[in-house]
Chain A
Amino acid sequence: MQPTLRVNTFRQSLILSGLFVLGLLAVNLIVFKPGTMAVVTLSGLYQGMLFFLIAAGMSIVFGLLDVLNLAQGAFFMLGAYAGFAIYGALPAGTPIEARFIAALVGATLTGGLAGALMEIGLLRPLYARPVYQIVMTLGLSTALNEVVRAIYGPAGLVPIEEPPLLATTFTIAGGQFETYRVFIIAVGAALMVGISLLLQRTRLGIIIRAGVQDSEMVQALGINVRRIFTLVFALGTAVAALGGMTAAPFLGAYPGMGTDFLLVAIIVIVIGGMSSYEGTAIASLLVGLTRATAEQISLQYFNTPILASVSILLFMVAVLLIRPNGLFGRD
């Protein structure tokens, strides 16, 4: 497609997304009381950030390696469980803040290391057979779920203790909201900007973006693309594991948690347009807001959260019908 045309579609999609958000907010304004509306919007952002943490890695990895990593949800879960393990392993006197930070760092490292091992050991042999890669990641996701079930049992673990600083709630326009969820929004936003800077401003970022365009050409320029693949894959899984650990004080940890989030993450990257980082970032917020709004509406009128999941599925189908390659996808 012509470059000018592409810029135009990009701008169009941006405008479309903006209009969609405005529409959602308008619906919010009409249907809910101001307090509820503030909580719904914040909770939409919070969900959107969690989705982003899983989807970001999937989208970049897909752009660069052409692998859809369906095990990404399992890494999210892995992060939560690693956090629990670190919480438990530290000596009894350690202050909660130290435990919390150690768990965040430890979970991220665990996720990154496991991701690197997976790329080297399981994905490399399969680059010639793309369909098998996606099938393999699905199998790995099942296996990881079962390993966790075997070690920790089928019941979940109760949420870990959050640092006292974050364990409060505050009032916004008459609605109650937990400080910890704002912390999750902050972590997500920081990573969103951080990854964007990494992609736009660093040498590694340039290589990654070039690789998304044409990885053979990058290799021809004398860059070890294989090593970049491993690095990017590990980065993606590390971010997902960090997401899992960040969510652990809120959601706890249970064997199916990865799959729950994976499905939404898939919807996010499909809406955003598979390999587009900006698309994923915007789509995760759109999906988060849609989900939160639909959830509240459905709770208010039908007394069940059913619309939460159904709404985003319908959203995806609608986007695909208008744009078969997602909002910001390439042809």
Chain B
Amino acid sequence: MTKTSRPEGLLGLGLLAVVVLGPYLFAALTGTPDEGLTGLARWQSAAAAVYCAKGLSPIVWLLVGGVVVLAAATLAGRRLGALGAALDGARGWYLVAVAALIALPFLIAAGTNSSACSRGQAFFWQAIFVDVFTMAILAISYNLMFGFVGVVSFGHAAFFGLGAYSVGLLMEHLGWPWWGAVLGSLGLSIVIALIKGFVGLRIRGLYFALFTLAFAQVFFLLAGNRLLVDITGAEDGFTFAVPDFLNMTKNRLFFYYLGLTAMVVAFLVVQQLMRSPTGRVLVAVRDNEGRAQMLGYNTFQFKLIAIVMAGVLAGGAGVLRGLALKGASPEVLGLDFTMTPLIMTLVGGQATFAGPVLGAFGLHLLEDFLRDTVVTLGGVSINVGERWALILGVIFILIVIVFPYGVVGTVQNEWRKWRARRS
């Protein structure tokens, strides 16, 4: 099968574009923009009126119906002719997942009897999902290095944290416009990744992992130090102002879709990269670097490509985080943001496309659901939320020992075995 016959990602993006941009178009055509506002925010308030108009149920039903139809078509698969064939297998489920995430804010709003656009349950969950999307992007990026290319990095937090810091610093201290700051931060990720690659890749295997750990730690120490307190705010971090339309407190639904779009894009980038000839070589480097070299590939270049890609994605996740919180503090550069995507990748299944995303959703949502739960075992009561790091650590060890392929990997293996037995 050639690359062009895999349209699921583009279909997903298209779906997103229609849902997110549709109201803008609608507002532009019919609405009356708020004259008190300027720029994008003007149209946004008009668009929000479309999203959040009273008696929204037609849109909700349309979305829910769309998800159900897609899911049914996917289940039916090839039996349904051209449409079903296009949706057959994993690609259909990707689409269903994207569609479900598009409908989700309205479903939560309907379920909790609150509006998707004003304070309440729906608002609260949108923020949590923005966090989930951010972590999913980070895990996707981690998986690119760890799963597909087999390069263990213990310094992924450096990219994430620098993304969050630089977008804020560029806007706050240099007065760059938001798009300049975002592009600048991504550019910085590329530069850092290149430095890391050129210096670090001379060092092999374990040395490289330790090198990245030290590399990330330098930034962590610098960010928390009083030496730069006027710029970074040292251990307290700093906050910055973002334009109204990017302000998650004011325009949370928009930010939710922004996060979702970013996640889908990250997913697509990695998927397309790994399905391209370059990706094949990357896997070959993981499996046997010597052999790839013997075949005439400059493995250094290929690993550099992977590091830069992963760096940009992780930096993007950091930018999203910085914008969402309208601030950054040294913890975004800490070991936690290397460990968490690593655990998510392992739980979901390394070297699979959906694994890191599922891992991020599963672990992050579990943490939020169990935040205030108290489990009593015998005489001991455990507050799950307070002990979450401990529980994660134990899950982590168990997975590493008994469940090495993660959820998606194990399911795929069983599925292949089952199919092999049938035929």
Min C-beta distance of A255 to chain B, whole Å: 10
Residues of B near A117 (CB, < 8 A) are: none
Q: Which of the candidate stretches B69-77, B169-177, B385-393 sits at the interface with the other chain?
A: B385-393
Task: Give the chain A neighbours of B215 by CB distance below 8 A.
Answer: 313
Residue of A nearest to B202 (CB): A324
Chain A hits for B213, CB < 8 A: 263, 266
Q: Which of B361-410 contact A (CB under 8 A)?
A: 386-387, 389-390, 392-394, 396-397, 400-401, 404
Tell me, yes or no, whether A114 is within 8 Å of chain B by CB.
Answer: no
- A245-268 CB contact bits vs B (8 Å, 1 = yes)? 000000000000001000100110
Instruction: Name which residue of chain A comes closest to B389, CB basis.
Output: A146
The answer to whether A304 and B225 have CB atoms under 8 Å apart is: yes
Q: What residues of chain B lie closer than 8 Å to A149, measured between beta carbons?
A: 390
Q: Which of B214, B227, B389 has the most CB of A within 10 A?
A: B214
Chain A contacts of B154 at CB under 8 A?
Answer: 138
Cβ-closest chain A residue relative to B225: A306
Provide the bound-state CA to CA distance between A306 and B228, in Å. Answer: 10
Whether B400 contacts A142 by the Cβ 8 Å rule is no
Contact, CB under 8 Å: B221 / A142: no
Bound CA–CA A137/B184 (angstroms) = 37
A275-323 CB contacts (< 8 Å) to partner B: 302, 304, 306, 309-310, 313, 316-317, 320-321
Q: Does A122 contact B (CB under 8 A)?
A: yes
Which stretch (A12-20, A99-107, A123-131, A180-188) binds chain B?
A123-131
Question: B interface, how many residues as a size bin?
Answer: 35 or more
- Contact indicator per residue, chain A 124-156, by CB within 8 Å of chain B (1) or not (0): 011001011011101110110111011000000
For A321, the chain B residues whose CB sits under 8 A away are: 199, 202
> Are B218 and A313 in contact, CB atoms less than 8 angstroms apart?
yes
Q: Is the CB of B390 within 8 A of A146?
A: yes
- CB atoms of A68 and B342 under 8 A apart: no
A320 with B207: CB separation less than 8 A: yes
Verify A135–B214 contact, CB threshold 8 A: no
Establish whether residues B203 and A310, one from each chain, have CB atoms under 8 Å apart when the complex forms. no
Q: Which residues of A contact B118 (CB under 8 A)?
A: none
A residues less than 8 Å from B346 (CB atoms): 135
User: What sequence of 0s and 1s flags, for each residue 199-223 of chain B, a beta carbon within 8 Å of any chain A beta carbon?
Assistant: 1001110110111011101100110
Give the distance to chain A from B164, nearest Cβ to Cβ, in Å. 21
List A contacts of B210 (CB < 8 A): 68, 266-267, 270
Task: Say what secondary structure dominates the interface of chain B.
Answer: helix
Partner of B400, one of A126, A259, A270: A126
Check B218–A150 contact: CB distance below 8 A.
Answer: no
Contact B227 A302 (CB under 8 A): yes
Is B119 an interface residue when CB atoms closer than 8 A count as contact? no
Contact indicator A136/B397 (Cβ below 8 Å): yes
Q: Which residues of B contact A313 (CB under 8 A)?
A: 214-215, 217-218
Q: How far is the CA of A267 from the CA of B387 in the complex (A)?
A: 31
B416 within 8 A of A: no
- Bound-state CA distance A123–B305 (Å) is 34
Give which listed residue, A68, A259, A267, contacts B206 with CB less than 8 A.
A68
> A139 contacts B202, CB within 8 Å?
no
- Give the Cβ gap from A4 to chain B, nearest Cβ, in Å: 25
Chain A residue numbers with a CB within 8 Å of B401 are 122, 125-126, 132, 136
Q: Are A147 and B390 in contact (CB under 8 A)?
A: yes
| Contact A136-B211, Cβ < 8 Å, known A146-B390, A304-B227, A313-B218 | no
A132 with B404, Cβ < 8 A, contacts A139-B393, A150-B387, A324-B202 known: yes
Cβ–Cβ < 8 Å partners of A306 in chain B:
221-222, 225, 227
Residue from B339, B392, B393 within 8 A of A140 (CB atoms): B393
In contact, B392 and A142 (Cβ under 8 angstroms): yes
Cβ 8 A contact of A320, one of B203, B335, B394, B400: B203
Q: B103 at the A/B interface (Cβ < 8 Å)?
A: no
Select A131's contact among B152, B199, B226, beta carbons within 8 Å: B152
* Residues in chain B near residue A266, CB distance under 8 A: 210, 213-214
Beta-carbon nearest neighbor of A325 in chain B: B207
B389 near A142 with CB under 8 A, answer yes
Instruction: Output the least CB separation between A265 and chain B (Å).
Output: 11
Chain B residues closer than 8 Å to A270, beta-carbon distance: 207, 210-211
Residues of B within 8 A of A139 (CB): 343, 393, 396-397, 400
Q: Which residues of A contact B211 (CB under 8 A)?
A: 270, 316-317, 320
Residues of B near A274 (CB, < 8 A) are 206-207
Q: A139-B397, A309-B221, A320-B211 are in contact. List 17 more A-B contacts (CB 8 A).
A: A125-B401, A134-B206, A135-B152, A138-B154, A138-B339, A138-B342, A142-B393, A142-B396, A150-B386, A266-B213, A270-B211, A306-B225, A310-B222, A313-B214, A317-B199, A317-B211, A321-B199
What are 14 A-B pairs with beta-carbon distances under 8 A? Answer: A68-B210, A129-B404, A132-B404, A140-B393, A145-B389, A263-B214, A270-B210, A274-B206, A304-B226, A310-B222, A317-B199, A320-B202, A321-B202, A324-B204
Complex A-B, nearest 4 residue pairs according to Cβ-Cβ distance, in ascending order = A143-B393, A146-B390, A139-B396, A142-B393
